[in-house]
Each structure stands twice: as structure tokens, then as C-alpha cells.
Amino acid sequence: MAGSLTAIEVAAYERDGYFFPRRVMAAERAAELADRIGDLERRFSDRYPVAALLRAAPSMVVPFVDGLMREAAIVDAVETILGPDVMVWATDFFIKEAGSPRFVSWHQDLTYWGLSSAEQVTAWIAFTPANPETGCMRFIAGSHAHGIVRHEETYAPDNILSRGQTIAGIEDEGAVDVVLAPGEVSLHHGRMFHASGPNRSGSRRIGLAIRYIPPSVRQVIGKRDYAALVRGEDRFGHFDAPPRPKADFAEDAVAFARRALADVESYIYEGAKPDARRYTDVAAGKPA
Ligand SMILES: O=C(O)CCC(=O)C(=O)O
């Protein structure tokens, strides 16, 4: 398949826990999608908690995100790692405004997700330049070989992560900057130690994280969880399929996303301080 990783690229992913860069769309299209995000914010923010929905469940409410997570250029690459059956468990936009101090502390994605297996790959697509100035991700090569390590819950105000969860003692000097041009993607393993710094540039940094799993994975903490089959077959039935959105922020799609996020919140924030619950306002229908 056109987008598959080569054997050498798969070996690099297995050794390092990440692979980048890979072009999945033209720079012009990425710029156009970045503009569409701004357009959605302008059109719908008076009615809906747009920032929170883009952060927590964009593929449930925006058709172009639902389409993008199914595109062969991305799924072919993921299939080489996860196998022929591929689901999307979640999508999240990470948007850092120009000059924003907001950052992401060192963490492992799978820490709080309640998934039964470490077979999970994130594809992070750059809609705008991702580099040290704009606050690109940073990876520690080979760190996916650890189990889930202890995370301290700091609740630091500028930390984009809801609990401010942090792996202590990571030496930044050893980290790899995940520099991506618009339209390029990075792939990372669910146990990868990763972080990102503030956006010191004069423009917005926009990335879309797509969380892929094979259908054999189960939710082991929550009662109900959601994932969309994007390739092959689901022979397990562990997840409910979210309906595909037909129009931007359509009322029924927003209502479904709110219900799904309330279900997810019931387990993902177990033990967290109440104000860490980033889905609460979405579920309750308050503006973000
Ligand atoms: O976009 C960022 O700065 C961080 C993204 C991240 O932590 C992730 O995709 O897992």
C-alpha cells in the first residue's frame, strides 16, 4: 500500500517508539484546514463549547476530521504497525495560541486511558509548523520500552494536560524535537515519554492527534467506550461506534459527543480533582 512504512521504518519505530516525518498531505491543504478551524471557532462559539469539543472529540462533530482519520495516507502507515484491523479511539486538537505559555509536561499517553494493551499509536498531524519555537512535541527515544511509570499530578495552570501529570526527572537535553512542516505527521507509541513547550512564535500552532488501536484492545476501567473502525474488521465488539458527523457541529452530533464524553469522563478522571475534568463543561452544555 502506498502509505505503508518500509521494514526499515518499522524497525526504527519499534526501536525508538516513534517515526517521523512523513508527508500525508500537501502544505497548502494543511494551511486550508488550519483556516477551517478558525472558521469553525467563529461560526459556532456562540452556540457550543467549540474549543472543548475540538480538544476532546473533533471527529464526532466535524466531518473533515472524521474523513482525515480514515485517509489511506495515514491509515496505511498505522496498519504496518498495528495490523490489518484499525480503529480510532479518540481524536484531539492541540492548539497553542501565538505567544502562549501553555505547555505539555512529560507524560505517557496510556496512563489514564483504561486500555487493556499498549498496542496504541498516535498519528499527530501538523496543520501549521511544529518546531522548538512554536512548541513542538519532544520525545525520549526508546522510552516506550518502560512500563507506565509514576506520574505526579501537579495541576500546573499552564499545563494543557488536565491533571498536569508529570514524569519527574526527565533530562531535556536527551530529547528529540519532533519538527514537522504543515502536512507532515509523526507516529508515537502509547508509552512514549513526550512533552511540548510554550509557543514563543507569533502564530498559532495547530496539531491533530489521532489515537489508533486494534479492535482487540478493551476498555478495562470504564463501562462504556467508543471507537470507530477505519480499516479491516472488528471481530471483538469491545467498543460502541460513534455516528459519523454529517455537517459541522450539527445539533445531533454535538448531543452525541456530549453524552459520549460524559461516559468517558466517568472513568478517565477517576481520582482527579473536580476542576481537572475537562469534559464536564462539554457534557453539561456550558461554554468552554
Ligand atoms: O501537541 C502537543 O503539544 C502535545 C501532544 C500530545 O501530548 C499527544 O499527542 O499525545
What is the pLDDT, as a whole number, of residue 172? 83
Q: Who has greater pLDDT, 126 or 274?
A: 126
Is pLDDT above 60 for 265? yes
State the closest ligand 1 atom to the C-alpha of 207, by its place in the atom list counted from 1. Answer: 1
Query: Rounded to whole angstroms, how far apart are CA atoms 91 and 54?
Result: 9
Mean pLDDT along residues 14-38 = 98
Residue identifier of the C-alpha nearest atom 8 of ligand 1:
209
Q: Retrieve residue 236's grid coordinates.
A: 471483538
Mutate to test the pocket of ligand 1, among 122, 140, 159, 212 (most ligand atoms within 8 A of CB): 122
Q: What proportions of the chain, in percent to the nearest 5, are helix, strand and coil?
A: 30, 25, 45
Provide the H-helix boundaries in the chain.
7-16, 27-44, 50-56, 58-61, 63-68, 72-82, 251-268, 280-284
Task: Give the pLDDT confidence score for residue 173 in this predicted structure.
Answer: 85
Question: To test the ligand 1 pocket, which listed residue (124, 143, 144) has its Cβ within 8 A of the most ligand atoms?
Answer: 124
DSSP one-letter code for 276: G
Ligand 1, atom 9: closest residue by C-alpha? 209
List the one residue out of 147, 79, 121, 117 whose CA is nearest residue 216. 117
- 68-to-25, 73, 92, 170, 218 alpha-carbon distances in Å: 10, 9, 13, 33, 24
* pLDDT above 50: residue 285: yes
Going by CA atoms, what residue is nearest to atom 1 of ligand 1?
94
Query: What is the pLDDT averaged over residues 122-150?
Result: 97
- Ligand 1 atom nearest to 137, measured from its CA: 3
Residue type at 215?
A: P
Residues 138-183 have pLDDT tens digits of 999 999 999 999 999 999 989 999 889 999 999 888 899 999 999 9
pLDDT of residue 167: 96
Does the Cβ of 122 fall within 6 Å of ligand 1? yes
Could you tell me if the CB of 91 is within 6 A of ligand 1? no
Locate the ligand 1 atom nearest the alpha carbon of residue 194 and give its number. 7
The pLDDT tens digits of the residues spanning 192-245 come to: 999 999 999 999 999 999 999 999 999 999 888 999 999 999 999 999 999 999
| Ligand 1 pocket member 205 (CB < 6 A) | no
CA of 196 to the centre of ligand 1 (A): 7
- The predicted pLDDT at position 287 comes to 42
Residue whose CB lies within 8 A of the most ligand 1 atoms, among 54, 137, 199, 206, for a mutation test: 137
The DSSP symbol for 132 reads: T
d(CA 276, CA 120) in angstroms, rounded, equals: 24
How close is the Cα of 235 to the center of ligand 1, in Å? 30
For the chain, state the CA radius of gyration: 18
Could you tell me if the CB of 79 is within 6 A of ligand 1?
no
Please tell me which residue, 237 or 288, carries the higher pLDDT value: 237
One-letter amino acid of 8: I
